């Protein structure tokens, strides 16, 4: 996580007094470009981090080397602990690290920092469910990412036969309890759904990692590509304005307000990969929604209606 790197960067700068982007990259096992972006991000965010040019230059915290976090003011300390605090509610390791960070703060900042760290709690379990532990396969892949070793995967893609691949693991993503592995392959960067990985063997062979690789940026590109695939078809529909929030809550960025109409309803644009998928989303609304176009969605809705009527017409 980038938040982890930013905290580690601050602590490293305090321990050494001054670091270069190259030293930071080597210590945190990231690229020099990523280290430089992190340093610039801290400076832009208002953390007193500044560069010193020259032969013996580097990046330092304002005031020089310190054994505590006194280079931060009260507002900056609160911002830092608001950033890290939520992780402590689900990870014992993060909670232990947070306690150490609090002890490193000046006395005058500790109370506010502790309050900020405890201001947000993450409860990943839905009502009636237990907290899901991280799958063992995810732990193994995470180990491969950290150790930077190649992994031999057996992967069963959707609608495809299981295959074996040798990949360079670059990072893991947890999206709504679904894990993804971003990895380098002989055909370029690919994204693998972890639940479709049947085996994962760490080879011990050093993995290749692009110097400019940034996991957050790579995942953003994956999300953008997936959203484009999910938006291949658009339907125009009318709905009462009071139900707009329901549509937006269910469909997020895939629903767009086009504008109001004369009868008090509003016109929306809903996107999905196929006419059937749009019809399935809308069938439960019944006559509360009017689909203006395309005809393919109207036809799918009519077909679904006939199927339901045929099955349940004889029931009282």
Share of the chain above pLDDT 90, in %: 21
User: Starting at the edge strand that comes first in sequence, how are the strands of the sheet with 289-293 ordered?
Assistant: 255-260, 265-272, 233-240, 289-293
Cα separations (Å) of 47 from 40, 53, 68? 10, 19, 14
Please report the pLDDT score of residue 121 as a whole number. 59
Q: Which pLDDT band, with edges at 50, 70 and 90, does 302 fall under?
A: very high
Please report the pLDDT score of residue 263 as a whole number. 86
Over residues 20-29, the pLDDT tens digits come to 888 888 877 7
- Domain locations in the chain as residue ranges: 2-117, 136-225, 233-312
3-state SS, one letter per residue, for 9-35: HHHHHHHHCCECHHHHHHHHCCCHHHH
Greatest mean pLDDT range, 89-98, 147-156, 306-315? 147-156
Please report the pLDDT score of residue 236 as a whole number. 94
Architecture in CATH of 2-117: Orthogonal Bundle (1.10)
Please report the pLDDT score of residue 65 as a whole number. 37
CATH code of domain 233-312: 3.30.70
Is pLDDT of 2 > 60? no
Is pLDDT of 208 > 60? yes
Q: Which pLDDT band, with edges at 50, 70 and 90, does 51 fall under?
A: confident
Query: How far is 255 from 249, CA to CA, in rounded Å?
Result: 9
Q: Three-state SS for 238? A: strand
Q: Do domains 136-225 and 233-312 have the same CATH topology?
A: no
Is pLDDT of 249 > 90? no
Q: Is 68 left (phi over 0), alpha (psi -120 to 50) or beta?
A: beta
Query: How far is 62 from 84, CA to CA, in rounded Å?
Result: 22
Asked if 169 contacts 163 with a C-beta cutoff of 8 angstroms, the reply is no
Please report the pLDDT score of residue 181 as a whole number. 92
Query: How far is 284 from 271, CA to CA, in rounded Å?
Result: 17
CATH code of domain 136-225: 2.30.30
Question: Per-residue pLDDT averaged across 39-63, rounded?
Answer: 73
Stronger pLDDT, 13 or 79, i.e. the higher one: 13
Over residues 260-289, the pLDDT tens digits come to 888 889 999 998 888 998 999 999 898 899
Q: Which pLDDT band, with edges at 50, 70 and 90, does 66 fall under?
A: very low
């Amino acid at each position: 996580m980038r938040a982890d790197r930013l905290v580690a960067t601050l602590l490293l700068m305090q321990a050494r007094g001054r670091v270069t982007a190259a030293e930071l990259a080597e210590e945190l096992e990231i690229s020099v470009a990523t280290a430089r972006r992190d340093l610039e991000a801290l400076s832009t965010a208002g953390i007193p981090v500044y560069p010193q040019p020259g032969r013996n230059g580097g990046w330092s915290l304002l005031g020089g080397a310190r054994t505590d976090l006194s280079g931060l003011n009260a507002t900056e300390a609160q911002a830092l602990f608001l950033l890290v605090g939520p992780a402590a509610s689900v990870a014992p390791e993060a909670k232990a690290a947070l306690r150490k960070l609090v002890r490193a703060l000046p006395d005058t900042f500790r109370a506010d920092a502790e309050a900020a760290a405890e201001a947000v709690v993450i409860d990943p379990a839905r009502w009636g469910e237990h907290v899901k532990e991280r799958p063992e396969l995810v732990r193994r892949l995470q180990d491969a990412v950290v150790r930077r070793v190649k992994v031999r995967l057996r992967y069963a893609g959707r609608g495809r036969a299981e295959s074996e691949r040798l990949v360079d693991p670059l990072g893991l993503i947890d999206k709504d309890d679904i894990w993804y592995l971003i990895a380098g392959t002989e055909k370029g960067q690919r994204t693998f759904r972890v639940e479709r990985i049947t085996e994962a063997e760490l080879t011990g062979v050093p993995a290749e990692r692009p110097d400019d690789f940034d996991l957050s940026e790579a995942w953003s590109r994956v999300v953008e590509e997936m959203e484009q695939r999910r938006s291949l078809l658009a339907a125009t529909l009318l709905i009462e304005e009071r139900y707009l929030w329901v549509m937006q809550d269910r469909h997020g960025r895939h629903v767009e307000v086009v504008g109001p109409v004369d009868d008090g309803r509003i016109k929306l644009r809903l996107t999905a990969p196929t006419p059937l998928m749009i019809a399935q989303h809308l069938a439960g609304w019944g006559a509360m929604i009017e689909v203006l176009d395309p005809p393919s969605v109207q036809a799918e809705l009519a077909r679904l209606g006939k199927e339901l009527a045929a099955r349940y017409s004889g029931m009282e």
